């Protein structure tokens, strides 16, 4: 089962980076392969945060797929969990963590997935792996655009 695990230090605060990653509707503006994202449902979580049911459309050249996932936003613990619900995968889990680190934040990104179809896995697998390796960079560039290139700000200004 393919998986990717990465830790990256950025100059923005954990709260800023959490807010940026939690703003899933903006993904098509900057995230590799993401062509569309629609939140179907938002449910408040007991203890804070919310759970989203979201459809993400991804594509590369002539290949297009849409999948549904449950996104659990936990701002109190600065964690985001993405779990597969429906679509072209047999399995998908994605976890984000955001920890204070030397005037900024250390972002933890983990994803594990398996396509339901062997053929789709062969067609999309290498491209997905390459895209996941670029996700952290895409979010860091987006943070620089949204929050500026300076050091971590004390207040969250929102994406």
For the chain, the structural domain boundaries read 3-147
Homologous superfamily in CATH for domain 3-147: START domain (3.30.530.20)
Least confident among 30-39, 62-71, 133-142: 133-142
β-pairing verdict for 34-44 and 50-60:
antiparallel
Which one has a higher pLDDT value, 111 or 54?
A: 54
- The answer, yes or no, to whether residue 60 has pLDDT greater than 80, is no
Q: Specify burial of residue 13 (Cβ count, 10 A radius: 0-12, 13-18, 19+).
A: buried
pTM of the shown model: 0.86
- The answer, yes or no, to whether residue 52 has pLDDT greater than 90, is yes
Q: How far apart are CA 80 and CA 74, in angstroms?
A: 6
The first and second tokens of residue 107, run together, are 């972002």
């Amino acid at each position: 089962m393919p998986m990717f695990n990465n830790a990256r230090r950025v100059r923005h605060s954990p709260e800023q980076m959490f807010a940026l990653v939690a703003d899933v509707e903006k993904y098509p503006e900057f995230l590799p392969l993401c062509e569309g994202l629609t939140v179907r449902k938002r449910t408040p979580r007991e203890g804070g945060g919310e759970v989203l049911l979201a459809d993400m459309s991804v594509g590369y050249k002539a290949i297009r797929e849409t999948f549904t996932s449950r996104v659990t936003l936990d701002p109190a613990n600065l964690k985001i969990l993405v779990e597969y619900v429906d679509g072209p995968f047999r399995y998908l889990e994605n976890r984000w963590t955001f920890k204070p680190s030397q005037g900024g934040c250390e972002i933890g990104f983990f994803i594990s997935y398996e396509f339901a179809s062997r053929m789709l896995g062969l067609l999309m697998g290498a491209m997905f792996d390459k895209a996941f390796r670029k996700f952290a960079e895409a979010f860091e560039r987006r943070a620089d655009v949204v929050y500026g290139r300076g050091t971590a700000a004390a207040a969250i200004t929102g994406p």
